[in-house]
Structure 1
């Protein structure tokens, strides 16, 4: 029998998977419908048709990946065996959702407003470059020097106990022993 947190994750994953499937359906149908109604000339075989088709493949593979890792496994009796990976976690799954949302926005936006909306897709590699730079820059620029013995410790909020010990130390109370930093 699964615990309450596993059941909660399974329920959240099932909702997220239904939303992915609904989003895929709505974005695809809306994009095709808007192209038929507003931009019939964009349906010919061209670069924009290939771009739109390739983004349908991207959304298909990402949605299949998220569905595969997030689908809860149940026994024949309906008992929860595994809730699947948490689709609300930060990291890779969050980025997959971001790419899905940007792709859906570009598909529908390009069908309704024009091909200039595809420039929004450049946010994805720009963000990846930003994250990569922040990951690598401490190693390229050198690490900050370790704090020396002469450095003043940072002043920050202290607990009541720390404040009491500091006051005892200032009065010279023998119960408080001070240690020197090395």
Structure 2
């Protein structure tokens, strides 16, 4: 039973990577074939695939389980189903597959503009996460409002519950047997 969750995660990561490669490689091969038959420029083809290749490399390095010579699990890799950065990496891969399918079907590279949505979305997420944090850190003075001492004094007053607790804490308590 020891290491059962690690083995499950290793199997799940290997299956996810296998499924990703089964999706990416045929589409990439057909796109490459289309580029050769079209006799298009390689200067636009390689940089367009760089973000997906970088994401695939990072997922491979961090998520691939490692085994020793005896077949024992050494490292299960990071969970590829976790939310956050891994989701964004898979999104970049899927968007590039979408653009490649468009290139195969329509013969145009204009669908690669959809990858411009990634930095726009990341900037939006950073703004929604960091915006309230920055405004709380800077307080009302960043908006040019004068400092109001009456408002600060009102916030400093204690709730009824806290006042009652402090009052009861000062009393001497007796323990009965």
TM-score (norm 2): 0.70
Per-residue CA deviations over 1:48-97 (Å, capped at 9, x if unaligned) read x4332112233222212211111112122111122111111112211111
In structure 1, C-alpha distance between the alignment counterparts of 2:112 and 2:126, rounded to whole Å:
23
Contact kept, 8 Å, 2:48 with 2:112, in 1: the verdict is: no
CA distance in 2, matches of 1:98, 1:122: 12
1:167 paired residue number:
none
Alignment deviations for residues 11-56 of structure 1 (CA, whole Å, 9 cap, x no partner)? 111011112222231121122344566xx2xx332xxx43321122
Instruction: Give the counterpart of 1:71 among 64, 80, 105.
Output: 64
Alignment check: 8 A CA contact 1:52 1:107 kept: no
2: CA distance, partners of 1:67 / 1:75: 18
Distance 1:84 1:26 in 2: 26
Taking a change above 3 Å as real, the CA distance of residues 55 and 23 of structure 1, as seen in their structure-2 partners, is farther
Match of 2:116 in 1: 122
Q: How does 1:1-182 map to 2 (within 5 A)?
A: 2-35=2-35, 40=38, 43-45=39-41, 49-113=42-106, 114-142=108-136, 180-181=161-162
Higher RCO, 1 vs 2 (CA within 8 Å, ≥6 residues apart): 1
Q: Residues 3 and 60 (structure 1 numbering): CA distance in 2 closer, same or farther, change over 3 Å? A: same
SS of aligned partner of 2:55: helix
For structure 1, list consecutive stretches of 5 or more residues without a partner in the other structure.
153-178
Tell me the SS of whatever aligns to 1:180. Answer: helix
* TM-superposed deviation, 1:124: 0.5
The alpha-carbon deviation at position 120 of structure 1 amounts to: 1.4
- Give the structure-1-normalised TM-score: 0.68
> Structure 2 vs 1, CA of residues 10 and 111 (structure 1 numbering), >3 Å: closer, same or farther?
same
1:9 and 1:86 in contact (8 A); partners too: yes
Q: Deviations over 1:106-125 (max 9, x none)?
A: 12213322333122112111
- Distance in 2 between residues matched to 1:73 and 1:118, nearest whole Å: 35
Name the CA distance, whole Å, in 1 between partners of 2:161 and 2:156.
9
RMSD, aligned CA: 3.0
Whole-Å separation in 2 of the counterparts to 1:121 and 1:60: 13
